[in-house]
Amino acid sequence: MKKAHGFFRVVGAVVGKDLTAEFRSRELISGMLVFALLIILIFNFALDMNSQSRTGLSSGIIWVTLIFAGTIGLNRSMAVEKDRGCLDGLLLAPVDRTAIYFGKVLANWLFTMLVAVIILPLYTVLYTVNLLVPGLALTIILGTAGYSVVGTLLSAMAVQTRTRDILLPILLFPVIFPLLLAVVKASSGYLQSLPWMDIQPWVTLIVVYDMIFTAIGILVFDSVVEE
C-alpha cells in the first residue's frame, strides 16, 4: 500500500511538473493547436463535401488532425526534457522509472485531450456535423490514451538521436496503424449511428491495443532510457 502510494506520488509529480512548465510557456499547446486548426481549415477548403459525405469523412479528418498535432506535442515534450537536462534529472532520481513513464504518458494524454476539446466544437461549426455523441467521446479517450502510451515510449527512444524530429514519425506511424484503423472505424460507426454489433469489434481492438502496449511500455521503458 505504501509502495503504491509512493508510485502515484511520483506520477502526480511528473504530471504536475509538465503541466506547470507548459502553462508558464504555452509553447507546446499553442503549437499543437495552431497545427490542428490549420489541418481542419485545409480540409474544409480543399474538400467539397455535401452533408452525407461530411459525416462519412469526419472521423478520418478528426483523427488525422489529432494524430499529427499529437506528434508535434510528443516530439516537443521529450525534446524539451532532454535539452534542459530534466530527463537526466528524472532518471537519476531514486524512484521507479515506470512511474516516470506513466507520468509522461498522462501529461501527453492530457495535452492531446485538451486539443481535442478545443477543436471538436470548431469542427462542428465548420462542418455542421454533430459530434456530441457519447460513444465518440469514449473512442477519443481510449484512442488518445493508446496513442500517448506508444508515442511516449517511442519519443523517449527517438530523443536520444540527432534526427529525432524525423525519426519519431517514422517509428510511430507504422506502429499506431492498427489503432488508427480501429478508432476511425469506431468513430465513423458512432457518427453514422450504426448498431453496437458493428462497432464492438473495433472498440475491443482499441482496448486490447492499449493494454498490450501499456504492458510493453512498462517492460522496456527502463531499457530505452538507459541507452
pLDDT for 161: 73
**Spatial separation of the C-alpha atoms in residues 72 and 75, rounded to whole Å:** 5
List of residues 6+ apart from 98 with CB closer than 8 A: 7, 218, 221, 222
145 vs 55: which has the higher pLDDT: 145
Residue 11 class from Cβ within 10 Å (0-12 exposed, 13-18 middle, 19+ buried)? buried
**Spatial separation of the C-alpha atoms in residues 132 and 176, rounded to whole Å:** 26
Express the helix, strand and coil content of the chain in percent, nearest 5 each. 90, 0, 10
**Spatial separation of the C-alpha atoms in residues 12 and 110, rounded to whole Å:** 13
Long-range contacts formed by 7-10: CB under 8 A, 24+ apart: 7/96, 7/98, 7/99, 8/99, 10/95, 10/96, 10/99, 10/100, 10/103
Report whether pLDDT(140) > 90: yes
Q: What percentage of the chain carries pLDDT values higher than 90?
A: 33
List of residues 6+ apart from 192 with CB closer than 8 A: 55, 56
85 vs 74: which has the higher pLDDT: 74
Average pLDDT score over the chain: 84
Check if the beta carbon of residue 105 is closer than 8 Å to that of residue 18: no
Q: How confident is the model at residue 2 (pLDDT cuts 50, 70, 90)?
A: low
List of residues 6+ apart from 95 with CB closer than 8 A: 6, 10
pTM strictly above 0.75 = yes
The mean pLDDT of 172-184, rounded to a whole number, is: 94
Cell of 131: 459530434
Q: How confident is the model at residue 86 (pLDDT cuts 50, 70, 90)?
A: low
Q: Which residue has the cell 509529480?
A: 13
Report whether pLDDT(210) > 80: yes
List of residues 6+ apart from 2 with CB closer than 8 A: none
